[in-house]
Amino acid sequence: MNTVKNALAQKSGALIHVRSDDMVVEALRQMRDNRVRSVLVIDDEVLVGIVTQGDCAIKVLLPGLDAKQTPASQVMTRNPVTVSPDDRLESCMTMMATRGFRHLPVLDAGRVVGVISIGDVVKDIIRDLERNVGDLMGYVMRDGPGG
């Protein structure tokens, strides 16, 4: 498996985020406009949290709060678990599966450089499988067993 850095290179460079004092409606707009399911919460270039669609539904919609008057700080997961660019995607996948995460912020020397999602990990697995199948097909077609 590849590293987080390799997976980030496959994504667009846009870092989707809001500030902790932004209203939840802004986080939802960012998710909608960028077709993502979470946004990072960054204050003064420091990661302070993450807000997911689930957070918005469970912590705003269900209790009947107004997304236009509820700050992201009220619904975000504070101090989220992070990974580094050198981490292996396999360890990210294990962490996501065992801890129930779908998104992991990526920090490089304390600076936010991206987010890895479970979808990114799955795409990497598919790329590896396609590469392996191509290699095997080449072997069979060119050399063949006993060749």
Angle between helices 89-99 and 118-138 (to 10 degrees): 130
Q: What is the pLDDT of residues 54-77, one digit of tens each?
A: 999 999 999 999 999 999 999 999
pLDDT at 139 over 90: no
DSSP structural state of residue 14: -
What's the CATH number where 11 sits? Answer: 3.10.580.10
| β-bridge mates for residue 46, sequence order | 43
Is pTM, for the whole model, over 0.85?
no
Kindly list the distances between the CA atom of residue 130 and the CA atoms of 5, 39, 94, 120, 125, in Å, as whole numbers in the listed order. 20, 31, 22, 15, 9
Number of domain units in the chain: 1
Could you report the per-residue pLDDT of 5-20, keeping only the tens digit for each? 999 998 876 899 999 9
Please name which of 36, 47, 124 lies closest in space to residue 83, comparing C-alpha atoms: 47
Which residue in the block uniquely carries the two structure tokens 């304390």? 110
Q: Give me the domain span that covers residue 36.
A: 4-143
Decide: 33 and 10 in contact? Cβ < 8 Å. Answer: no
Q: What is the pLDDT of residues 15-46, one digit of tens each?
A: 999 999 999 999 999 999 999 999 999 999 99
